[in-house]
Chain A
Amino acid sequence: MPEGLTPEELNFEVLEFEAEDLRFEYERVAALQELTLRVRAGERIALLGANGSGKSTLLRLMDALHFSCKGALRFRGAALTEAAMEDDAFALKFRRRVGLVFQNPDIQLFNPTVFDEVAFGPLQLSWPREEILERVHATLQWIGVEHLKDRAPYRLSGGEKKRVAIASVIVLDPDVLLLDEPTGALDPRSQSQVIELLESWNNGQKTIITATHQLEILSEISERAVVLAHGAVLADATPDEVLANTELLEAANLIHSHRHLHIGVPHKHISPYLHHEHHKHVAAQR
């Protein structure tokens, strides 16, 4: 490579993750089956799928918490294996660069106070004390939870817990952020707060991979949608292409037919997501 030029400037494809024929089983039940996927640096990807489609499992493999029983998963060219993660130097570098926000914030918040929670990651990575204090305060302030810093995390509301869980990972300023259902079980206001938070953090520089089954947030959180079903990739396209393909969405169990009455007339919707669109013509006919 010529000196002084980055791979981006040379128009090389910088790969964050590379999964090849990945297979993972929970007690002999396949959660991922021969899954192949490439994630480029700076991409915002949605892993779209119904419950049990393998989204969370894939995120855990990407965060090197589980390891595949077949195939290979590489992060920036380095294989993510148990042996690799046993090497302290590699593990610390990896944890510094990749962060995972769990679906259930209750399992992620285990420290006695919100401040301790956010400081936990930097402490594990042996950051200098002054830097930790500065970064934790800045992150809490930015995420709007500084007034909660002395509260016990498990005493917070659902939306607050989620924001603290995100803060506890974002404080490390990882290059890759993995999010498992970040807006699941949140009220609409908390949902938009979380999405705005992620948008303002990303600033186009970070790789964000979000597992979700919420079609309504797809366009906001991603530029690329990977549809999963039964542990395999069913489609890989732009959010608009995916949302326009009702057959694909039905095959992935992301939408379903919905029959009800409109002004006394039986009416069938293809999906709750498209509900609003279908109602426009009903309103116009009145």
Chain B
Amino acid sequence: MTGMAEQQATISKLSGEIMQEHRSLWSDTWRHFVRHRLALISLITMVVVASAIIVGPFFISYDPERIDFAAKNESPSLAHPMGTDELGRDQLVRVLEGGRISLAVALAAVSVAMTVGVLFGAVAGYAGGWVDNALMRVVDVFYSLPGLFILILLVTIIGPGFLTIVVAIGILRWMGAARLVRASFLSLKEKEFVESARAAGAGRVRIIFRHILPNALSPIIVAGTLGIAGAILTESALSFLGLGFQPPQATWGRMLQEAQRSVLNDGHWWRGFFPGLMIFISVLSVNFIGDGLRDAVDPRRIQQ
């Protein structure tokens, strides 16, 4: 009798191993993502940075624009954890305020880039033939543009504003997404499920957006995440060159530019150290998150 019970237990144990509980693609991705330790730490870091930037300024009693000559050029202390600048403005609150613009620009620019890239790639990949050929030559042309030069040109010519900077960064970074989406579309459009959708009478737009695009999303999400890191660096570089946002608006790059003289002539290291540190931490974290996502959505990983 014990043999029966044992058998039963073995069977249920084995079948439990075979029968996988149903999980959606995203919960599956999440399960693998959290196993990537660095990616998880980075995600937590970014959540902390983002919340500090969003709600932080409300909890700090200093006004980012308030000038206080009694407290100018102070090194970091408890009252001013990141020190003060030559006008006595608190650096911490300025760094948090600046982060709002820096991160908002990066997110918006990547959204622009991804939207353009996805539309471009989807049309090229779905249409194929000469349309594909022509659109991909456009991608080649944009790839060969000297990016930062064009950005400097656009911003100097049109004038630095949120929209200009976002669009300018966006139109220099969409080509990667376009190539990825095109490649997925080229293979996916031949699959049976597309054929069946077409047989069921779905229109071209519906097939592209409703049927093919969801299956082509994961590489785009990875590319988009990594793109945020690039966009943060690009905006900072532009602001650092004095061509991005103009004072009194502070972005991390702009603060570094303003700090340059004070660090190098007066040795006020905190003026340059903290804004740069924030750029560094954000870029590093976003890179790790992107890496973790890439591993998590990789279909080959499931077979291992």
Q: Tell whether A pairs with B.
A: no
- The residues of B with any CB-CB pair to A shorter than 8 Å are none
- The residues of A with any CB-CB pair to B shorter than 8 Å are none
